[in-house]
Amino acid sequence: MMFRLHCTCAIVLGLAAPCLAQQVPAATNKPTTYRVFMRGTAIGREDVTIEKNASGLTVTSQGRLAAPLNVDIKRAQFKYRPDWSPEAFSLEGNTNNAEVSVRTSFNGTTAVTQGTQGGKPVNVSHTVTADTVILPGGVFSAFAALSHRLVGIPPKTRLRAYVLPEAEIGLNVLDVVNERMQVGTTLLNVRRYDLVLGTLKGDLPISLIAAEDGSLVRVGIPSQGVDLVREDVASPTSRTQVYSNPSDEPVIIPAQGFNIGATLTRPKAGTGARLPAVVLLGSASAGDRDGFLNGVPILGQLAGALADAGFLVVRYDRRGFGQSGGRSESATIVDSAEDARVVVRWLSDRKDVDPKRVALVGHAEGAWIAILTANRERRIAAVASIAGASTTGAELNLEQQQYELNQLSLPAAERAKKIALQKQIQSAVMTGKGWESIPANERRDADTPWFHSYLMFDPTKTVSDLKQPILIVHGALDKEIPPAHADRLTDLARKSDSKSVEVVVIRGINHLLIPAFTGDLGEYPSLTDRNVSKDVSGAVGAWLTKTFAAIK
């Protein structure tokens, strides 16, 4: 039998990664509590204790994770020798009411797991790398050992991790970045590790944040909406400054019933006059204000470039993320547009802002929100759509799934089956009917107000109603939202009441707005230039300067 916490099948491949640091951290006997979130909702906790002695490092934990994971950890323990080779792992607990009692011992390059799961015996062995990292499904405390082991590791290191006890897989450390974390008004020095775990379903990006001594602060698996956060930094008053510009200033913007955490980026040289201003809106896949996608802080870098061009720029955490209150799972696209209106009004009321020269710049879904907000808010003078889609969310979702399936070595019949299931799910989300034929886990992920609003959103009418000048920017190598969408958006905008419509398609740029060779998602981890192209920021800055100059 193959031991697995079945409820965490999708997440099991994102729970640990090895490295080469040689120092074992100092002992600590006091448990540290970590909160586990899924798509912004708290689903449980783990209490983790780390101990050091002459034999190496021991990590012990206990905790409980509610639906959809349904894991009860009575006791989990990892043991590593002083050279970071694994010695043993044990777990007592249950998943979905099935008792689990297993122990894995490591001897050189052999890992042997024995015990029971659901009353059935478990007895398997594998050959593993001598310094592999133990990676059990559903036990997030594996990250606590990883975070210490990452101390001192250089970027571009190739590692191995043991998905216990199924197979050993690769893990790359893409980057190591020193950052600051803001807890209330206090700033802490932290280090972010951008990792990619090579799974059977493709590369899985992971972001791990550790304190300077190596202790774990936070882990995020963006594609699965999973976050593990140390309790003292799990509140809305905390955020990690994933990316910062020299003139960044943290601000709090009052909204209806909650606050919005934001960053204001000023031009380097103040003029004393009221400044033109820009609000940045990011992709649905990036809830933080920096628009962090696959290792690229898209909004953070755009903010710096536009500030250098003379604009006062605001970027903010979306509802339910970072320092912003509210509930992300219940926020629709219309709700996001209302939040954008709040930010625009706050910005235009500032004494250092020219209220007649406020623009919205949106990337991906943020482009939809920008156009929708511009239709509802007269204070917005201009709109820029970057990598915006021209079809309904339902059509775009099927287009993107078809593209991803075409990259896999699957029989045509299997691809057709997956597309058919996706169509069933979308129909159920949009109509509320037909859920009985859809697996419960699929419904749990799809049956949300946000996904319903996304599928139903049609930019056709929204763009047709636009009155403000609009710039449409697209990467020629964008495979997530192909450049044909820019052509259709341009046609729609030219039929609107907008007084000015311009389009710029930039060669050699992918959906992340960085230089690429093919634009395929599979090449994202290998791209070395992680900076938003100056051709993108330059096009937006030049257009805004020209557009605002025409405003009296």
Residues 406, 441: Cα–Cα separation, whole Å:
24
Answer yes or no: do 300 and 151 share one domain. no
Q: Is residue 175 part of a domain?
A: no
Enclosing domain of residue 326? 242-391+458-549
Answer yes or no: do 308 and 400 share one domain. no
Answer yes or no: do 298 and 422 share one domain. no
**Once rounded to an integer, what is the mean pLDDT over residues 519-544?**
94
pTM of the model: 0.66
Q: Is residue 194 part of a domain?
A: no
Residues 470, 73: Cα–Cα separation, whole Å:
54
Return the structure tokens found at 53: 């002695």
Answer yes or no: do 517 and 447 share one domain. no
Q: Is residue 217 part of a domain?
A: no
Return the structure tokens found at 98: 């099935």
Of 170, 194, 228, at which residue does a domain stop? 170
In what helix (H) or strand (E) does residue 157 lie, and over which residues does it extend? strand 157-163
Residues 537, 302: Cα–Cα separation, whole Å:
6
Query: Mean pLDDT lowest for which of 35-44, 356-365, 412-421?
Result: 35-44
Whether the per-residue pLDDT at 8 is higher than 90: the answer is no
Answer yes or no: do 325 and 306 share one domain. yes
Residues 353, 273: Cα–Cα separation, whole Å:
8
DSSP string, 353-405: EEEEEEEEEEETHHHHHHHHHHHH-TT--EEEEES---S-HHHHHHHHHHHHH
Q: Is residue 68 part of a domain?
A: yes
pLDDT of residue 24: 37
Q: Is residue 179 part of a domain?
A: no
CATH code of residue 304: 3.40.50.1820
Answer yes or no: do 17 and 121 share one domain. yes
Residues 217, 409: Cα–Cα separation, whole Å:
38
131-189 tens-digit pLDDT: 998 988 778 899 999 999 999 899 989 889 998 878 899 888 888 988 877 666 566 78
Answer yes or no: do 402 and 364 share one domain. no
Q: Could you report how far apart the first and last alpha carbons of the chain are, in Å?
A: 74
Number of domains comprising the chain:
3
Contact 197, 161 (CB under 8 A): yes
Q: Is residue 106 part of a domain?
A: yes
**Once rounded to an integer, what is the mean pLDDT over residues 464-485?**
97
Contact 419, 400 (CB under 8 A): no
Answer yes or no: do 444 and 468 share one domain. no
Return the structure tokens found at 400: 């993107």
Portion of the chain with pLDDT greater than 70, in percent: 91
Query: Mean pLDDT lowest for which of 380-394, 408-422, 496-510?
Result: 408-422
Return the structure tokens found at 148: 């210490």
Residue 101: phi, psi to the nearest 5? -145, 100
**Once rounded to an integer, what is the mean pLDDT over residues 336-357?**
96
Of 118, 146, 170, at which residue does a domain stop? 170
Query: Mean pLDDT lowest for which of 63-67, 184-188, 423-427, 485-489?
Result: 184-188
Q: Is residue 229 part of a domain?
A: no
192 C-beta neighbours (distance < 10 Å), count: 24
Answer yes or no: do 113 and 258 share one domain. no
Which of 11-20, 59-68, 267-276 reaches the highest mean pLDDT?
A: 59-68
Higher pLDDT, 18 or 353: 353
Answer yes or no: do 147 and 272 share one domain. no
Answer yes or no: do 403 and 333 share one domain. no
- Length of the chain in terms of residues written: 552
Residue 488 in 3-state DSSP? helix
Residues 384, 379: Cα–Cα separation, whole Å:
15
Of 405, 421, 453, at which residue does a domain stop? 453
Burial of 52 (0-12, 13-18, 19+ CB in 10 A): middle
Q: Is residue 197 part of a domain?
A: no
Answer yes or no: do 312 and 249 share one domain. yes
Nearest to 5 by CA among 106, 130, 140: 140
